[in-house]
Amino acid sequence: MSKSIRVEDDTHAALAALKGEDETFDELLSRLIRVRRESAEAGAGLWEGTDAAERAREKRDEMKRGVGSR
């Protein structure tokens, strides 16, 4: 079943620039989704065994406190 989606002209132009010569917009969007999923999966567990997640939380909390004190 086919669906239509509306996009702004600048969004369409950006997608068209990413689209391969023989690629449909559907194929483009599927490719972009696949690449995004692969990137997310590749990064999963990246911080496992390190204290990086805790340091990131601490830094985020520090930044939040700094915003509230202004």
Does the residue 4 lie in any domain? no
2 within domain boundaries: no
Structural domain contains residue 35: yes
Looking at residue 45, its pLDDT comes to: 80
32 in any annotated domain: yes
**Whole domain around residue 45: which residue ranges?**
9-16+26-68
15, 25 contact by CB (below 8 A): yes
Are 15 and 28 in contact by the 8 Å Cβ rule? The answer is yes
Tell me, yes or no, whether 42 lies in a domain: yes
Tell me if 1 is assigned to some domain: no
**Six token digits for residue 56:** 């990131």
| Domains identified in the chain, total number | 1
**C-alpha span between 57 and 55 (Å, rounded):** 5
Its pTM stands at 0.60
Spatial contact of 19 and 28, defined as CB atoms under 8 Å apart: yes
Query: In angstroms, rounded to a whole number, what is the distance separating the alpha carbons of residues 54 and 24?
Result: 43
pLDDT tens-digit map of 5-39: 999 999 999 999 999 999 999 999 999 999 999 88
User: How does pLDDT run across 34-63, given as a tens digit for each residue?
Assistant: 999 988 888 878 788 899 888 999 999 999
pLDDT value for 66: 79
